[in-house]
Amino acid sequence: MHDIYSQQKQNRRITVALMVCFFILLGTLGYAIDAYSFGTFELTGVPVATLVALSIAGINSLVSYFYGSSIVLKSLHAQPIVFENPSHKQLYNVVSEMCIASGIPKPKIYVISDPAPNAFATGRNPENASIGVTQGLLDTMNREELQAVVAHEMGHIKNYDILTMTVVTVLVGTIVLLSDWATRSWRYGGIRTKRDSKSKGMHPVILILIILLILIAPILSRIIAMSVSRQREYQADTSSAEFTRNPTALASALEKIAQSTSPVKTAHKATAHLFISDPLHRKLDDKEGMFADIFSTHPPIQKRIERLKRMAYGYTTARG
């Protein structure tokens, strides 16, 4: 039985391990393509194709880093809070309280005019972050539940989850780009590995493994990306419990969110991973297994609720 602090440490270790796997996959794929598809590594001693792909990824990262938040807010039709609205004023007060509890600067606050209860966070760091909630969330939650949801998003900001997912997204794009280059070179120029395998003394099994790696690398990278996404949701749940000292409040909020079946109308696949719960309400996010890990952005909400209730038990036991 884990309390909120041991659960937090475990989720961080898992996320770091998944990120290491990501970089190992990227490095292995890059070497295979440069050495056996383009032959650039053998000719120049430099992984040219990999460096070009990483340069493109770097440009995309810079755009996402400096302008990603504005793009997200605009695409979701999020608007600044209106203090004349009592629910917006309460949201402002709750955010102020959770800033004190979490020890981070106050983020910009936005509301999406949508009846589906949900919330998200975006930005590159705690100094340049934004929190958004739907009007449906404000209308559905009591004050303690709203605190818990805001604390969850504060957890994402404090733990630099948004930046982590930006890096992961760019890594996935780089791997897909490298794999695409390799398959295109095979299609139009022939497979170098087949032509030169005899001169290189390459074992046929190694050749087959290289080809398989290049073909399945995009799928593997998505599995890792979604694993990171799921783990950061667990991490933010434990952060919410830490900031509010009330894990059952977030469990209750998630139960209400799960009862809503209408999607957030302005949400789309590119922003779905930012929300506390899948805003598209795809059934796949309620399942587990390899297929779900590839395509789902969130852990099953019922499993999150169960974990939060166990945290509450552990926290109560620790206090007793």
pLDDT for 136-146, tens place per residue? 999 999 999 99
CA distance 228 to 22: 10
Name which of 123, 216, 198 is nearest 161 in CA terms: 123
Q: Which residues are catalytic?
A: 153
Name the average pLDDT for the chain. 81
What proportion of the chain, given as a percentage, has pLDDT over 70? Answer: 78
Q: Using the 8-state DSSP alphabet, how is residue 103 labeled?
A: T
Name which of 202, 171, 188 is nearest 42 in CA terms: 202
**pLDDT at position 132:** 97
Domain count, the chain: 1
Rounded to two decimals, the pTM is 0.77
Owning domain of residue 276: 4-319
Which distant-in-sequence residues (6+ apart) come within 8 Å of 182 by Cβ? 32, 33, 37, 38, 214
Using the predicted structure, report yes or no on whether residue 193 has a pLDDT greater than 50.
no
